[in-house]
Amino acid sequence: MNQTITSLSEALKESLVAFLRDIIAIPSTGGKEQAVVQRIQEEMTSLGYDKVWVDPLGNLFGQMGSGKRLLAIDGHCDTVDVGNPDNWEVDPFQGLLKDGVVYGRGAADQKGGLASAIYAGHMMKQIGMPDDVSLLVVASVLEEDFEGLCWQVIVEQDNIRPDAVLLTEPTNLGIRIGQRGRLEMKIKVSGISCHGSAPERGENAIYKAGPIIIDIEKLNHRLSSGSVLGKGSVTITDIRSSAPSLCAVADSTILHLDRRLTQGETKESAVDEIRNLASVRAAGADVSIPEYEVTSHTGRKVSVKASYPMWLMPADHSLVETAVSAHKSQFGAKADVGVWTFSTNGVATKGLYDIPTIGFGPGEEQVAHTPRDRVREDDLVQALAFYAAFILEWGQRPNLSD
């Protein structure tokens, strides 16, 4: 069967790469995924998926098989924007293929993995899906800014709860079993405005925030690092102030924090850590977790709090062992098993709902969100082969929830 998978993967290479180039050419930032969802839906239908549909949030599903055990392979179809176009050496929406590499926004993060997963479903129709397995390939939306939100809707509103989830984020063809959590915080410092010609008459909120900025930088160096996930981290990503005019002392300053949570850290402990900084107490600052109202490409509005938990699968979990076994069987080599630096939809599937979750994808994590966004053709084929091998292996191991 391994040779059959290899042969079929190579035979599908040209179509797979052409499809990826098509969807790279369609801009699809968060909340604007409608056109790419439509293109992917057309591809799933033409590839013979048993059922294809879109939920009210705009997530796209393609189902193969009708077994009771449900395996979901997830890839988000939204991307970040291109940033400064001058930093790109290629057109980010051309889907350029050169010397065996596909370039463009979303090539690695993560339309490449999604495209391979979609073609894996097609391959399973040729190979034969295990009798008791249903495969659900998900082109999820809104992940880049609100990771996991799509899966909260899928589980809680669509009432779809898979037995296991495979994420296709870039892993450079390694197996990933976890990630740090992500938490946003806002620190609001209040002051008293006055005329800028006599600043001593007021209380400058920007100056009051100065010691807080220094303390947060120091806190980052003190955070713990005794986990396979790496150390926790905190950084200021935005500073905004307000004043009656540019000729007046600032009466408020808001600092926006990006906090990454490792094992043993929670949103509660992280917020308390900031509130208990001497500079925060001295300034009488308010610390909060922001909440956003998100509008999807279907017009659906959803509220989300900017708190995304860490998650980590045990290395000896049967799902991880299945992935390692499938990799060894298909490629004859031991897989690299590790964790992501960035955040994924696993914050919901595993972090919130404790659904066994792993990751495997083409592309390098370090080129995600950069003007060097790219994926190798051969890696797309390797990912396609792995997904098929994993589905078959998973179908042969009935007890994967331990």
Residue 21 belongs to what H/E stretch?
Answer: helix 13-24
Residue 143 falls in the annotated catalytic set = yes
Query: Is the bond preceding residue 152 a cis peptide, omega within 30 degrees?
Result: no
Place of tokens 């925060």: 280
| Among 351, 341, 372, 349, CA closest to 258 | 341
Secondary structure (3-state) at 98? strand
CA 334 centroid distance within chain: 25
Secondary structure (3-state) at 80? coil
Q: Which of 43, 55, 74, 78 is catalytic?
A: 78
CA 122 centroid distance within chain: 24
Question: Do the beta carbons of residue 138 and residue 70 sit within 8 Å?
Answer: no
Q: Which of 33, 43, 74, 143 is catalytic?
A: 143
| Among 302, 380, 389, CA closest to 348 | 302
Backbone φ, ψ for residue 7 (5° rounding): -65, -45
Q: Are strands 181-190 and 307-308 parallel, antiparallel or unpaired?
A: antiparallel
Residue 55 falls in the annotated catalytic set = no
Question: Do the beta carbons of residue 23 and residue 36 sit within 8 Å?
Answer: yes
Residues 6+ apart with CB under 8 A from 381: 9, 10, 12, 13, 16, 116
Question: Do the beta carbons of residue 181 and residue 310 sit within 8 Å?
Answer: yes
Q: What angle do CA 72, 107, 149 make, to 5 degrees?
A: 45
Give the integer Cα–Cα distance in Å for 224 and 221. 9
Active site residues: 78, 143
